[in-house]
Structure 1
Amino acid sequence: MVSGRGYLKTGQAVHPVEAGESFMIFPQMEVYYYPDPQDPWAYCWIEFPISRVTIGSLPYRCAGCSGICDY
């Protein structure tokens, strides 16, 4: 995310996301994501075929299976 805040809902968990973080949505993963109404986000969208990427080679750390990442 470039600026602002938002939320990523995976299953029953809601994860706050803020500027400087990103999130990954994996195939077959049901998620909802939405901006914070008081501080809406601006973000960039990047899409790539996960079958061509080894998760360990990505240039940031992912926190468990939540999909929230620092970069």
Structure 2
Amino acid sequence: MVSILEQVERDATAAADERWRNHVAQLEFVHGENEYWRGLRSGLALAPSRWRWWLFGLACGAAIVGVLV
């Protein structure tokens, strides 16, 4: 049997954990979205990350050719 005080404490802890998880998930989403756009802009501007995009395109092309052959 759980006392009322223990139940209230457990509920408060669960609510605080849920708020924290939502906060962290929102920060991760915003950070990930910013990283995506920064990478896209630098790739389109042929910045130093152009080599990563070039290698990615080469790998995708090789995979497509491998599937077609």
* TM-score interval (norm. to shorter): under 0.3
Q: Which has the higher strand share?
A: 1
Higher relative CO (Cα under 8 Å, sequence separation at least 6) belongs to: 1
State the TM-score, normalized to the length of structure 1: 0.17
TM-score (norm 2): 0.17
Pair member with larger Rg: 2
When you count helix as a share of all residues, which structure comes out higher?
A: 2
